[in-house]
Amino acid sequence: MTVFSTLTTAGIAGRIQQANERVVYSAPGLTQEIAASLVASARRLPGRVVVILDVSGQCARLGYGQFDAVTLLHENGVVVRQQDGLRIGFLAVDETGYAFNLPPLLVEDVTEMHRACNAIALDAGQVRRSLEALLPPRPADSASSPTTAAPEIGRTTISSTAVEKMRTELVANPPQKFDLARKVSVFNAQVEFVEMSLTGTHVRRHTVQLPPELVFAARDAETQRRVQASFKVVGEDSALAKEAKAIADKVTALRKGYLRSAEPLGSIMLRARRGDFMAIVGTVRAEVDAFRVSAEARLQKEIDRSRQKLVDALLPAVKQAPPEKLRAQVSGRSPTTSRRRTSPIGWRRYSQRPRPSSTRCASTSCSRASHTKC
């Protein structure tokens, strides 16, 4: 006799239909095909068909059989005994028996297990001991047993109330489609989702908004390139900006080399390349940490230098035609050079006002000894 064998759902159903004396089926669940054969055998062998299952929401959602098969047994009067957490299968048909395992549908399609080695044929002694554990002798069957011993598993039966409660639970929270879940599982075994981002390195994109009056006031070519209704805080030639761009380019190359878009879900990567990917990520992360330590002080120096360059570029135009808002902040007719340099750039509109024809002050109340600047 072959010890290891294949026991499919169709094979189990076929053996049950050939029973002449008894059938014992104990497993986490069962399919409609097996349930139909148990119903037919129960009609031929009344009282000699035993079914033990784990009728629970967890089993149903994992795909240990089909709950409709349990309903089929119950509707046809086949008694089902309950055993929580049952995960091994036992089948006894007359004097033959098997220990078997049918994987959950969430993992594998049991209808395609034509070549799977999932069962062990039991010898006569093993079958007998298994039946004694599941079907203790009744007092009438043994004069030496005054009381009925309890079976090792399946000591309670499934009631109609329990079946209906389980049906309601599965309607409210049904199992997922197992064929789709298996495909997703195989897909996930080869790839994994990756979320990678780098922020704070585009220092050249940071700008300050300028009043429209000053947009075209810059004289030198470099400042004109940086002024477009706003002023770039850090120039193109900044060493800080170049280092930040180099780090950003490495992250972009890493993303293009290893990741692929799976919109709208995100980005995926081959799981086999994870080691190489994480090694490069570690190197780039170390560069980012080092850059972050020195960037704060260096960035402030860049901002101070850019601000000074902006002031130097715009000051001649402001001196020639001071904006009205700047004039409103000084007591004299014309703001001093230091006032022009330090006045906040917050105005929106000003009108060109004619300058006095003389450099001397036109105010009759001025008492300054020198009237060249007021």
Angle formed by the axes of helices 67-75 and 160-172, to 10°?
A: 150
Same domain, 24 and 157: yes
Q: What is the mean pLDDT of residues 249-253?
A: 90
Pairing of strands 80-82, 49-53: parallel
Q: Is 155 found in the same domain as 14?
A: yes
Question: 210 and 281, same structural domain?
Answer: yes
Q: Tell me how far apart the terminal alpha carbons of the chain are, to the nearest angstrom.
A: 118
Residue 188 lies in a domain: no
pLDDT score at 110: 66
Lowest mean pLDDT among 220-234, 243-257, 274-288: 220-234
- Per DSSP, the residues of 171-227 read HHSPPP-HHHHHHHHHHHHHEEEE-----S--GGG-EEE--GGGTTT--SHHHHHHB
Q: For position 304, what pLDDT does the model report?
A: 81
Rounded to whole angstroms, how far apart are CA atoms 119 and 3? 8
Q: Both 41 and 119 in a single domain?
A: yes
Tens digits of per-residue pLDDT, 11-38?
999 999 999 999 999 999 999 999 999 9
Neighbour order of strands in the sheet with 191-194: 191-194, 267-270, 260-261
Looking at the structure, do residues 216 and 142 belong to the same domain, yes or no?
Answer: no
CB neighbour class for 155 (10 Å; exposed up to 12, middle 13-18, buried from 19) = exposed
Phi and psi torsions of 26, nearest 5°? -130, 120
Q: How many domains does the chain have?
A: 2
220 and 162 belong to one structural domain: no
344 prior amide bond cis, ω within 30: no
**Do 260 and 268 meet the contact criterion of CB atoms below 8 Å apart?**
yes
> In a 10 Å sphere around its CB, with 0-12 CB exposed, 13-18 middle and 19+ buried, how is residue 237 labelled?
exposed
Considering 302, 320, 338, which residue would you say is the last residue of a domain?
Answer: 320
> Does 168 lie in the same domain as 277?
no
Domain boundary among 296, 320, 344: 320
User: Confidence class of residue 158 from pLDDT cuts 50, 70 and 90?
Assistant: very high
Domain with residue 72: its CATH number is 3.30.870.10
Query: What is the pLDDT confidence band of residue 91, given thresholds at 50, 70 and 90?
Result: very high
Q: Is the pLDDT reported for residue 78 higher than 90?
A: yes
Q: 77 and 159: one domain?
A: yes
CA distances to 216, 222, 288, 309, 310 from 235, in Å: 18, 9, 21, 10, 11
Answering whether pTM is above 0.75, one says: no
Domain co-membership, 316 together with 221: yes
163 in any annotated domain: yes
Question: Does position 365 have pLDDT exceeding 50, yes or no?
Answer: no
Q: Based on the fold, state whether residues 261 and 315 are members of the same structural domain.
A: yes
In a domain, residue 209? The reply is: yes
pLDDT reported for residue 189: 67
Same domain, 107 and 151: yes
Q: Which of 9-13, 61-65, 169-173, 346-350 has the lowest mean pLDDT?
A: 346-350
In a domain, 253, yes or no: yes
Give a yes or no: residue 333 inside a domain.
Answer: no
Determine which helix (DSSP H) or strand (DSSP E) holds 90, and give its type and residue range: strand 89-93
Residues 138 and 270 in one domain: no
* Inside any domain, residue 347: no
Q: HSE on the CB side for 217, CA within 13 Å?
A: 24
Full DSSP string of 122-161? E-HHHHHHHHHHHSPPPGGG-TT-SSPPPPSS--EE--HH
Would you say residue 156 has pLDDT above 50?
Answer: yes
Mean pLDDT lowest for which of 42-56, 272-286, 339-353? 339-353
Classify 363 as helix, strand or coil. coil
- Cross-strand pairs, 53: 82
On the question of pLDDT at 195 being above 90, the answer is no
Is residue 325 included in any domain, yes or no?
no
Domain that includes residue 303, residue range: 203-320
Identify whether 298 is part of a domain.
yes
Summarised one tens digit per residue, pLDDT across range 312-364 is: 877 777 777 676 666 666 666 565 655 555 554 443 333 333 333 333 343 33
User: Residue 315 burial by CB count (10 A; 0-12/13-18/19+): exposed, middle or buried?
Assistant: middle
